[in-house]
Structure 1
């Protein structure tokens, strides 16, 4: 059975916990909405409608969190790669 390709206005993110959990993000240009939906076993468990003009705030929030995560990871790598200065 061939896998159906989703339209370019939708993206699916799989949950690492498995059990067919996923987040689907769908643009609805005609309504100026982005719909975030939580799925499990091909059943929609809930949705959230985000106005298109609020998307930049969501992206900014995610970007800030990613920056913090990258900075923390970079600091861990630098501590491991640098010889101890104590002693």
Structure 2
């Protein structure tokens, strides 16, 4: 019974991790699209840093999920740099 509860808690946290990964990936995609749309130099540096921050968040969460062997739905629009 205790093992079943541990498994259920792990599944719950794994799903939460996947949800956060998908949200951060969407934020990263949005930041990249915004960066492409803006051409002003001052704003461009800020957008570049924001895009890099979103990318690093995503990569950290992706590697955490990989380390924990968490598998989510296959999403064809996600490309990961290794």
Q: Same fold (TM over 0.5)?
A: no
Structure (1/2) with the larger helix percentage: 2
Please give the TM-score of this superposition, normalised by the length of structure 1: 0.36
Please give the TM-score of this superposition, normalised by the length of structure 2: 0.38
Flag the structure with more relative contact order, 1 or 2, with Cα contacts below 8 A and sequence separation at least 6: 2
Q: Which has the larger radius of gyration?
A: 1
Structure (1/2) with the larger strand percentage: 1
